[in-house]
Amino acid sequence: MILSSQTFYNNDVMKAYDLAVVGFHRAYAPYSKFRVGAAVKIKNSTEIIFGCNVENISLGATICAERNAINQALVRINVDTKAVPSGSLYDSKMKPIEIEFVVVVADTETPTMPCGMCLQCLNEFSTGKTNIIVANLEKIFGTVTLEQLLPAPYINI
Ligand SMILES: [Zn+2]
């Protein structure tokens, strides 16, 4: 992964970065103190939807910023989409959203990668070529594709 400044990225990425930073500041991380924000750009839409990590005292109920953003995107896009009346009608080939890219922001010297669980969840609504753009608060960016981080996703159900 090559790290670079923000000048390399287009307006959508920078808008997503700004929203991911908002998510970072809204993170609920009283146990780890490790805050993360994420924003997903939805393909064929102007929507960029962000989320933050939300920890829980049970730890297992904690959700990462990336999955929070994906879940919010599903809810919000469905409200605006007349073509798919009910989530229960989806099958494995009919995806309500396709993620164009995701931006992940954490306060680390080297940008933080999504965890394995989030990669598998990103895979549900992305392709292997989907860009995962990681950044820190100093606007140091890196870009990898989903298939670089998750070359063999679970798909056998
Ligand atoms: Zn995660």
* All domains of the chain in start order, with CATH: 3-149 (3.40.140.10)
Q: Is 66 a catalytic residue?
A: yes
Distance of CA 150 to the CA centre of its chain: 14
Q: Which of 42-51, 78-87, 135-144 is the least confident region?
A: 78-87
Q: What is the percentage of the chain residues whose pLDDT exceeds 70?
A: 87
Measured in Å, residue 140 CA sits from the centre of ligand 1 at 20
The secondary structure of 37-59 as a DSSP string is EEEEEETTSS-EEEEE-B--TTS
Measured in Å, residue 83 CA sits from the centre of ligand 1 at 30
Please choose, from the candidates 39, 55, 18, 41, the residue with its C-alpha nearest in 3D space to the C-alpha of residue 137: 18
Amino acid found at 64 = C
Q: Which residue stretches of 39-115 are H helix? A: 65-80
Q: Which of 28-37, 57-66, 70-79, 140-149 is the least confident region?
A: 70-79
- Active-site residue among 55, 66, 124, 138? 66
